[in-house]
Amino acid sequence: MTLAPPRATADAPTASRFVFPILAVAGTFQAVLQTVMIPLLPSMPSFTGASTTAVSWLITITLLVGAVVTPIFGRLADMYGKKRMLLVTFTAMTVGSLACAVSSDIAVLICARALQGFGAAVIPVGISMLRDELPPLRVPQAIATPSSTLGVGTAFGVPLAAVIAEYANWHLLFWITTALGLGLLAATAVWIRESPARTGGRFDGLGAVGLSSALVALLVPITQGATWGWTSPAVLGMFAASVVLLSLWAFQQLRARNALVDLRTSVRPAVALPHAIALLVGFAFYGNALVTQQLIQAPRSADGYDLGILLAGLCQLPLSLSMIVFAQVGVRISERLGTKATMLAGALCLLAGYGIHAVVGKPLWLVVVALTVTATGTALAYSTLPLLLLPAVPQSQLAAANGVNVLARTVGTMVCSAVVASLLGTLAVGAGAFSVAYLVCAGLSVLVFVAVLALPRGVRSRGTEPAVTV
């Protein structure tokens, strides 16, 4: 079968006038919910009366649920409608925000944060919807929006949460996100039409259960390994179970008529390499923000910069602004030089940024420079990954393919969090420990560069991708 680029229909201009701004706000909403808990986390034990271990699940559960739902919701969107799945996602995020706004009970908050994890599906579903709705020439620039909104969400989320944590009741933050969620629900219901592109068929429930079980068995020990002990029976047993479950799931997927993930397509280099790059860049991006946030808040006796929550959050603003700007710059580079050139530029920026990060005893302004350069590399990579998948998979599988790509990015983020926690817990916290963590991220940036070199020659993304033959 040959899949040609979509054509704008007669009513597409009316639909596209609303779909782009709504999805841009939705991406910001998702990024805010993913990041707001980071500056609040040190204060949550006193706010909730819960232990530090219990409070850590307020971040872990959001990432875990996001990892599970992205490939599943991507497939559901391809089969049953992208607008429908966006409404389900926005409803879960809004209910989760409302629960956080009215409760301080740790059990309720963990459940609420799980609902907020559904927001990870916004990116793959939104990218696929933009591909369906917009005229071909507008598609490449439009699908860079998720990368831009990640920067916007971080730019607003971290400082806003820091200010509220310091000067107001923390529940106020979630009243704001509840109002935003209600607005998105109304706007989506009224102004976005349902996409006509559907795959049909039956949903692979067995595959969804198998993948969810395997991911839980893999990701829970990754996030809890530093607490439980990496050689504890629980961690080793869950890792072993994840290997068995993933093997059984892959076997079932290859035999299923309506597979949740088309593994035969996914193992092609043009699809597998972008997923591998997403995993590595997800690790590198989170290391840039996470390690630096701890470094600049560490006391001077530990060779840190002893900044408060608010000033530390403000230091992250150049990172956010860089992602906003260079997500769009990446599209321009891809238009002129091809997607592979953009990815190579992104990999080089990651290497340069972590090279600066690893210097011991640098002034604070150089820390901010390193943050910005590394974020530039992340933005170039994130804005290009969807462009790599556009010509590589059929349009009917685009949401599912982007769901797997976001899953890979999320896994990279969670592995980074675990590795950084273990490194800083094992080594004496100080400039040396932070430099080791940065060097680990630099090593993964080298792997990004190698993986990019192995990519097929990049096409110029002018919205006229060649037909895909499957």
pLDDT digits (tens, 9 = 90+) for 360-387: 888 999 999 999 999 899 889 988 888 8
Terminal-to-terminal C-alpha distance of the chain: 5
> Exposed, middle or buried by CB within 10 Å (0-12, 13-18, 19+), for 361?
exposed
**b/e per residue 103-125 (b: at least 16 CB within 10 A):** beebeebbbbbbbbbbbbbbbbb
**Closest by alpha carbon to 330, among 346, 350, 353?**
346
Q: What average pLDDT does the structure give for the chain?
A: 83
The answer, yes or no, to whether residue 230 has pLDDT greater than 50, is: yes
Residues 6+ apart with CB under 8 A from 123: 27, 30, 70, 146, 402, 406
pTM, 2 dp: 0.82
- The number of beta carbons lying within 10 Å of the beta carbon of residue 87 is 16
State pLDDT tens for residues 194-220: 877 777 678 899 999 999 999 999 989
pLDDT value at residue 11: 41
Cβ–Cβ under 8 Å, residues 423 and 436:
yes
pLDDT value at residue 405: 86
* Packing angle of the helix pair 12-35, 122-133 (nearest 10 deg): 170
State pLDDT tens for residues 140-161: 777 776 666 666 666 667 677 7
Averaged pLDDT, 36-56: 84
What residue segments make up the domains of the chain, in order of their start? Answer: 11-203+260-469, 204-259
CATH architecture of the domain 11-203+260-469 equals Up-down Bundle (1.20)
**Distance of alpha carbon 408 from alpha carbon 200, whole angstroms:** 26
- The number of beta carbons lying within 10 Å of the beta carbon of residue 342 is 28
What letter represents residue 164's amino acid?
Answer: I
**Distance of alpha carbon 141 from alpha carbon 378, whole angstroms:** 17
State pLDDT tens for residues 437-453: 898 889 989 999 999 99
